[in-house]
Structure 1
């Protein structure tokens, strides 16, 4: 006799805020005998609230490289008969308004760091800005362009990087991982013309900036300009991702 187990959540997108009850419309047990069309099903609807006791909190769902915050429902009948279903939690929205924090940058050969042979660089002046480094964990906006340049721009890219820190008082390990890369331009741009920057953050691979006792999850934006022939310029902007 074959036995199947299933879990169905009432909300189709499986997204819940902290404190909301999860409604399970169906926890089904199905038994089928080989060679027979008869089957039996048992449906058990129920719900339970999302809360933690004491000072513990439910962090927002996040799928990272070294830090993972995931929540699952599990139906268990026996060691060899289990069913797991993941659901997504949004953290509690912050009170008050999100304060804009615009940032501008100017890149020239003199402003660059970690350059071994500065004399080989072409003369250039690249300006840009991000609308805010304090942003809702959904998108980043801004503009960038070349004001003056001896040579050509091969490409411009916007990179989203996650910096995960884990450990304890004895020591911490920092790991930076590229999450998403968007090409802004694929060739040279007109001098004095700025091009728009817009990146939608991937939902499960970002979360509000977290700082806890045992781990941190932080994010950065890199604007990368590749000059002809192979000069790579990177401007780094730490981000503070928030919920609103």
Structure 2
């Protein structure tokens, strides 16, 4: 006799905000009557550090002291011990999405962090259903991941940034073999704003004022920063928004721009777009 469990959420996107109700049904399907010792549903959320063979050396000093941080751990009973008839049975549920306590790093008024799947850090939220059965039958388990996002924020004021890039202002990247003297150059970089809504393009311009050597390419690298901290200190693998200038002799010079990503509401996005057009 085969019995299956499945969790189906009402929202197809599986995206929720703090304070929402996570609603759906647990589907039990069996060709015969199912006896059980109770069904329970748990909502779990945690921040965890992911180590692999590629990055283990970076976080060796912290791997023994960093443990997953619990964001949510809510359990509710779906059904007491009893019987489930043959066929398909749907058991509805509703669970409020609330944090155990406010956490550092979340916006004001928020206790949850956004779902995040990074290189080293993962922030995940999962629903788990468990059907207890007699000792002659193994318990049944199923899970379903859902996603947490911050509420859209009011449009933040633009923060343009401009800088001059010269041999005195940049750091030099690695180059194979002997390195000749750095050529003279003068570039200007400008970002329209370091506060960037996720649903709008990142805009700016780069101007080459003068350069004594040929430039192979100018690259804009949009990457991320992940920091893991514990009582012993913190480890960081650097990811940033960089402007990289690569010369023909493989000299690489970079300039870094810290940016803030925000979720803006559609109304704020429309008003900002109209203002930009008038300017």
C-alpha RMSD of matched pairs (Å): 2.7
Counterpart for residue 249 of structure 2: 229
Instruction: Tell me the SS of whatever aligns to 2:120.
Output: coil
Instruction: Tell me the SS of whatever aligns to 1:121.
Output: coil
Match of 1:86 among 145, 151, 171: 145
Q: Using the alignment, how far apart are the partners of 1:109 and 1:122 within structure 2?
A: 8
Distance 1:223 1:115, change over 3 A: closer
Counterpart for residue 6 of structure 1: 6
1:58 aligns with 2:112: yes
1:104 aligns with 2:162: yes
Match of 2:188 among 123, 127, 140: 127
Q: Using the alignment, how far apart are the partners of 1:221 and 1:80 within structure 2?
A: 49
Counterpart for residue 49 of structure 1: 96
Trace 1:1-244 onto structure 2 (pairs within 5 A). Answer: 1-24=1-24, 26-32=25-31, 40-55=87-102, 57-78=111-132, 81-94=140-153, 97-114=155-172, 120-138=181-199, 139-177=201-239, 220-244=240-264
Gaps of 5+ in 2: 33-85, 104-110, 133-137, 265-279
Report how far residue 221 of structure 1 moved: 0.6
The count of aligned residue pairs is 195
Counterpart for residue 44 of structure 2: none
Instruction: Tell me the SS of whatever aligns to 2:7.
Output: strand
Report how far residue 98 of structure 1 moved: 0.7
Distance 1:125 1:58, change over 3 A: same
Distance 1:7 1:115, change over 3 A: closer
Contact kept, 8 Å, 2:217 with 2:247, in 1: the verdict is yes
Instruction: Tell me the SS of whatever aligns to 2:202.
Output: strand
Report how far residue 153 of structure 1 moved: 2.6
Report how far residue 13 of structure 1 moved: 1.2
Instruction: Tell me the SS of whatever aligns to 1:140.
Output: coil
TM normalised by structure 1 equals 0.69
Q: Using the alignment, how far apart are the partners of 1:5 and 1:58 within structure 2?
A: 28
Q: Which has the larger radius of gyration?
A: 2
Contact kept, 8 Å, 1:109 with 1:118, in 2: the verdict is no
